[in-house]
Amino acid sequence: MSSELVDTFERAASGGRNVTELAPILERLAAALERPPLPPDRILWDAERVGEYLGVSPRTVAEKWAHKPGFPKAITLGGERAMKRWKAKEVMDWAERQR
């Protein structure tokens, strides 16, 4: 769910708006909640998120771990300033194998 939607709702509710004015916001919140979450094999993490999961800095992920043999291969998105992403499931599986 988008924190932006929640913030919008809270601002509107605290501003004394009536239910009719809040209805469209509530509909958007409900639609966001109804979407099923993506499975881990479909989620892409950046170096920051990989680092959060593994307990290291994004720099450590990008400069050290990403080059280790056996570490999941990054997916490169974009052109000139390419962004590296890793499949969440592959990172989680790799971390389990390191135990």
CATH number at residue 77: 1.10.10
Q: In terms of domains, do 25 and 71 share one?
A: no
- Percentage of the chain with pLDDT > 90? 47
pLDDT at 27: 83
Q: Do 25 and 45 belong together in one domain?
A: no
Task: Answer yes or no: do 45 and 78 share one domain.
Answer: yes
pLDDT, the chain, mean: 84
Q: Are residues 92 and 73 in the same domain?
A: yes
Q: pTM higher than 0.85, yes or no?
A: no
For 71, counting Cβ atoms within 10 Å of its Cβ (0-12 exposed, 13-18 middle, 19+ buried), the class is middle
User: Is 8 found in the same domain as 54?
Assistant: no
CB 9 within 8 A of CB 28: no
List of residues 6+ apart from 89 with CB closer than 8 A: 39, 40, 41, 43
* The residue to which tokens 């194998």 are assigned: 97
CB crowding 37-63: b at 16 or more within 10 Å, else e: eeeeeebebbbebbbeebeeeeeebbe
Decide which of 90 and 11 is more confident: 90
Shared-domain flag, residues 28 and 14: yes
Look at residue 52 in the predicted model and tell me its pLDDT. 96
Report the domain count for the chain. Answer: 2
Cα 84 from Cα 61, distance rounded (Å): 11
Which pLDDT tens digit goes with each residue over 27-64? 887 887 777 778 888 899 999 999 999 999 999 999 99
Where residue 91 falls among pLDDT bands split at 50, 70, 90? very high
Q: Domain of residue 30: give its range.
A: 3-34
